[in-house]
Chains A and B, each alone.
Chain A
Amino acid sequence: MYMDHQTEINYIKKILDGDTNLFSYFLNSYSHSVFTLIVRVVQSKEDAEELTQDTFLKAFRKLDTYRGDCSFSTWLFRIGYNTAISAVRKKKIVFPAIDEYVIDTVADEDVDRLLAGNDSEELLIHMEKAIEKLNPDEKALITLYYLENNPVQELAQVFGITPDNVKVKLHRTRKKLYVMIRELTKADA
């Protein structure tokens, strides 16, 4: 499906030498994944389409700054993530905060039990609602990890943090989702 890293670098060189049409390869390969990330961060299909377009235009204009030290998709996701986060910040949306103490008191076993064993329709609906309430950083993180199956190492490059920090953030996000689902279940009862 995707070309190897060296072939992509060769493509980029050719594009920089003037063979602009080769950029369509990157569009066809990654536009879907970039849109998947952005739509979940900004929570609007129309905005996401526009921001996906902005992401690729930015990538094209800054193609000469791509140094090849990470995969092209990682570089593209970083641009897409920054573009989406800037758009969300401009809207000044306030996301519900959960007391850190509450998150800290949640046992890992409880979270594992809820997420691993249960795939009821009710839980799925609650999970969707809980994900909506996450802040944009957390949405981006779980989208790239659970939906795009990106390894922790690549996520660290996208978000500009260490792999250990990525693991910590994923761990806390799971707990946060658990707390929110617990509250939603209580409210239903």
Chain B
Amino acid sequence: MSSDKIIGDALKQQWPDELPAGFNSRLMEQINKDVAVRKRRQTVLSYLLVGGVSLLLVGLAGFLLKDGILLTFLKSVKSMFAVQVSSSALGFSIYIAVIVLFLLFMDGYFRSLREKRLKQDAE
């Protein structure tokens, strides 16, 4: 079957096998552009994620302050420790601490994701 030379000859004659000059380099350029777009998209997505979470936290803080929930909480904390601390300063500190903890958690999460991916690639 593989000695059917006439089929191979006819296939050869049917179409030119030559790609236009510079085809490979143009395609390589496009692939590099594709990589750049993907990287940019990832960066934008991570900024959007961080921005969205920050807005969510600000909104949550606003909601808690508006309904006095945070103030009640702060008062109870104050009474627990019986220390005279300005409620606004304490609230601000707790707020910052929550954000820092959240960002540390997110950082750890993304780092572990990246490590997993690198391990998979290495295997």
Q: List the interface of chain A (C-beta within 8 A of B).
A: 13, 16-17, 20-21, 23-24, 27-28, 31-32, 35-36, 39-40, 43, 45, 48-49, 52-53, 56-57, 60-61, 64, 115-116, 118-119, 123-124, 127-128, 131-132, 142-143, 145-147, 149, 170-171, 174, 177
Residue of chain A at shortest CB distance from B122: A13
Within 8 A of A (CB), among B24-82: 24, 27-28, 30-32, 34-35
Bound complex: CA of A49 vs CA of B9, how far in Å?
A: 22
Bound complex: CA of A45 vs CA of B50, how far in Å?
A: 48
Given contacts A56-B27, A127-B6, contact A49 B19 (CB under 8 A): yes
Assess whether B34 is in contact with A49, with CB atoms less than 8 Å apart. Answer: no
Assess whether B9 is in contact with A124, with CB atoms less than 8 Å apart. Answer: yes
Q: Which of B6, B7, B9, B28 contacts A27 (CB 8 A)?
A: B28
Bound complex: CA of A116 vs CA of B5, how far in Å?
A: 7
Q: Kindly specify which of B10-18, B92-100, B107-115 makes contact with the partner chain.
A: B10-18
Q: Which of A17, A31, A118 contacts B6 (CB 8 A)?
A: A118
Assess whether A119 is in contact with B5, with CB atoms less than 8 Å apart. Answer: yes
Assess whether A32 is in contact with B11, with CB atoms less than 8 Å apart. Answer: no
Chain A residues closer than 8 Å to B2, beta-carbon distance: 145-146, 149
Supplied contacts A13-B122, A116-B3, 7 more A-B pairs, CB within 8 Å: A13-B121, A39-B16, A43-B15, A57-B30, A115-B7, A116-B4, A146-B4
Bound complex: CA of A79 vs CA of B34, how far in Å?
A: 19
Assess whether B4 is in contact with A31, with CB atoms less than 8 Å apart. Answer: no
Give 10 A-B contacts (CB < 8 Å), ordered by A residue: A13-B122, A16-B121, A27-B28, A57-B34, A60-B34, A118-B6, A124-B10, A127-B9, A128-B13, A146-B7
Assess whether A53 is in contact with B4, with CB atoms less than 8 Å apart. Answer: no
Chain B residues closer than 8 Å to A13, beta-carbon distance: 121-122
Assess whether B31 is in contact with A20, with CB atoms less than 8 Å apart. Answer: yes
Given contacts A21-B28, A31-B23, contact A143 B6 (CB under 8 A): no
Task: State the Cβ distance, B10 to closest chain A Cβ, in Å.
Answer: 4
Q: Which of A20, A53, A119, A177 contacts B9 (CB 8 A)?
A: A119
Given contacts A27-B27, A49-B19, A57-B31, contact A17 B7 (CB under 8 A): no
Residue of chain B at shortest CB distance from A177: B7
Q: Which of B14, B19, B27, B121 contacts A131 (CB 8 A)?
A: B14
Chain B residues closer than 8 Å to A24, beta-carbon distance: 24, 28
Bound complex: CA of A23 vs CA of B34, how far in Å?
A: 13
Chain A residues closer than 8 Å to B7, beta-carbon distance: 115, 127, 131, 142, 146, 174, 177
Residue of chain B at shortest CB distance from A12: B121
Assess whether A23 is in contact with B6, with CB atoms less than 8 Å apart. Answer: no
